[in-house]
Structures are given as structure tokens and as C-alpha cells.
Amino acid sequence: MPSVNRNRLFIMACLSLVVTAMTFAIRAGVLNQLGDEFALTATQLGWMNSMAFLGFPVAMMIGGLVYNRLGPKNLMIVAFFGHLLGLVLTIIATGFWGLIISTFFIGFANGAVEAACNPMIADMYHKNKTAMLNRFHVWFPGGIFIGALASQGLSSIGMGWQIQVGIMLIPTAVYGYMVFTETFPKSEFTLTDTGENIRALFKPLFIVMLILMTMTATTELGTGQWIQTILAGSGASGLMVLALTAGLMAVGRYFAGPIVHRFNPVGVLLGSAIFSALGLFLFTQTSGAMVYVAAIVFALGVTYFWPTMIGFIGEYLPRTGALGMSLMGGAGMFGVSIWNPVIGGWLDSASEAATTSGLDGAAAEIAAGQAVISRLMVFPILLIVAFAILYFMRLKRPEEHAPEAVVHEGAPVSSAAAEPADDPAKRA
């Protein structure tokens, strides 16, 4: 049997996540072009966006259920062909329904990437799960940074949206080649009994985290997907705000290990919610160059949301296995898929209200954008309350929230023993 090269598999996973992120960034960058070319309202664009966020959880739920049987390689093959088909169908789309179908395929491929790679990385780096998941998820903001700059650059030289979508075929081909040529590992440190995984899902802590995941994801991705449109009249480039935010997130996630160890996952999530709310508030109070300051604060907030939520499940509820991590990611994207058309509707209503009040041009766009951001602030405010309660519950009764035991090769092995540096009881 050929040997497993963990480093090359990690690179492959990161490349596939770059493609996933570029689909978000470039779609955000060409949203106005699509609206103009196909005469779509903001609400219709919201429905199109929601297909990416709907396809993602569908793939993650299915992927989580079949991961133990199919393994990460087969799920990555599905991801590759999903990206290939979705991108090509987007390029040749002729209207609203063509965009709806192609965007769903892209979303499904994005979900398959996470369903395959999150548990594979957690298993390969079982002694350092949360830190390595954060390092893997560097490449979501990293890919958004690349995609935002590519979209901005191509737009500035007059390249249309088809070319901008087409450039994503290049990294897709590279990671596809690696999928077909690398040897993938079998799970060694993850509970692979699907029945036991399903039973472990019904713990109150998992259900609460599932609900909170919908709010953390909407705070990060709902805002990011609409930032170009929301900030249209602010005097700042929405794409450059997206690139700045993504660049800071990438750096933060790369150095996540010491931060997670120092403050523990719940403390990190509480801090993230506070900075996210503050960043959104600053967006409503600033214009011009000061928008970039607000973007820095917002980036500090959303940096650790996604990987830390998934790492929390891997550490505190490991008996849920690959299924638990997949359902967490799926819940996040499902939440965003629900809220995307709602955000589009908010923008339509706010624009109409601004025009009715006598504003026009940039003034109307600023008023509408700030009204939408004010509504988005509700999510991190609720998260502050929820994570504060969870944090102080852990301080009061840390033994109730210690990592569970995981059955490995017939014998119970404590996840705390496997990851002594991440023992939450000691951190609390």
C-alpha cells in the first residue's frame, strides 16, 4: 500500500477550500453585474445566493452520514465534479434559473469539501484538532482575499463576470489532480460507528451549538456576501473591505493555537461575538476611509467563529464523529441560506424607504446599507448573551463540560488524554 502523505493531503484540502472561498468572493464581486445583465432584483439575487448556502448543508448532511462508509477520497471526488459542473453551468447561464441551478451545484461541492476535510484533518492531527482546523480554515478567508482581489483587478480592466468565474477552474483542476493521485488515510482516532454518532447528536449541548452556528455563520457570511452592495455608496470599495477582512482573518486563524489554548474555545467565541457586534456598529457610523477601520474590528470578531465552532464539537462532543462536525457546518450554511433572501428583501425595502424620504444617489445607498447592517447586528448581540451564559456555566461547573471519552479500537480513550494541551477542565 502506498504511504499516506499528511502534508500533501493538507495542501490538497487547503486548495479545495480556496476554491470554495473564491466562489463566495467572486460571486459577491459580480453580484451587481449579474443583476444588471439579467434584470434581477436584490431579492432575486438573494435567492440565487441562497442556493450556495442551501447546497452546502445538503452536501454536509449527506456527507456526514456516509463519511464512515465512503471515506474522504470519494467525497472529494464528488466535490471536484460538483465544482467543475457548477462553474461551467454558471458561465453559460442565460437567466435566473440557470444561475439558481449552477449555484446549487457549487454550494453542494463546497459542502462536500468540508464534509470530507474537517474530519480527515481532525483525525490526522488528533493531538491538535482545534489549532489545525483553524489553520485549515485560514484558506477560507485566504481564498476570499484572493478572489476579491482577482475580481477587483479583472473588473478594473473590463473583464466580464464570465471570465471572473472561469479563473476558478484553475485551482479546481489542481486540487482535482491531487485527489486522484494521493492516498487517503483511514480514520484511526474518530468514532466511526454511525449509529453511535447519531445517538450522540441528541445531547442538549450539541443542539444549542447547532442553533448558535446558524447565527455565527450569518454574522460572518451573510455580511460578507452582501458587503459590496451594502457599502455601494459609502465611499469605500466593498470588495476591498472584503479583501481586508479576509486577509486579517487568514493571519488570525494561522496563529489561532496559542489564543485557543489561552482563552479556551468558549472564551474565544465570546470575544468574537463582542468584536463582531462592535464592527457592525462602526459600519453604521462611518463612511469613506473610516469604513476600513470598522472592517478591521469586524474581522477581529468573525475570524475564529467557524473553525472554533467545529473544533468545539470535535473536542467537547467527539462521539458525534464526522457526522457532528458536518452537521455543524451544514447548520451554519443552512442558516445563511434562509437569511440571504431576507437580507436582500431588507435591502430592497431600505432602498425604497430612503428614496421615499427624499434621498437619492449615494445618500440613499448609504442610508439603505446602514439600515441593513443595523438589522444584522442582532445576530452577534444574541451571541454575546449565549456565549456569556455558556462561558460562566463552564467556570461554575467545568466537570460537566469536560471532553467525552471516545471508543478507539475497542477501548475507551479519553480525548483529553489524546490532547493534553487542550484539556478544557484545566483551562477553565
Per-residue pLDDT tens over the stretch 376-407: 999 999 999 999 999 888 765 444 444 554 44
What is the pTM assigned to this prediction?
A: 0.73
Confidence check: pLDDT of 117 > 70: yes
For the beta carbon of residue 274, count every other beta carbon within 10 angstroms: 18
pLDDT score recorded for residue 228: 66
pLDDT in tens, 211-259: 999 999 999 888 876 776 777 667 777 777 877 888 888 888 888 777 7
Q: How far apart are CA 206 and CA 60, in angstroms?
A: 16
User: If pLDDT is split at 50, 70 and 90, which confidence band does 411 have?
Assistant: very low
Q: Which residue has the cell 460562566?
A: 392
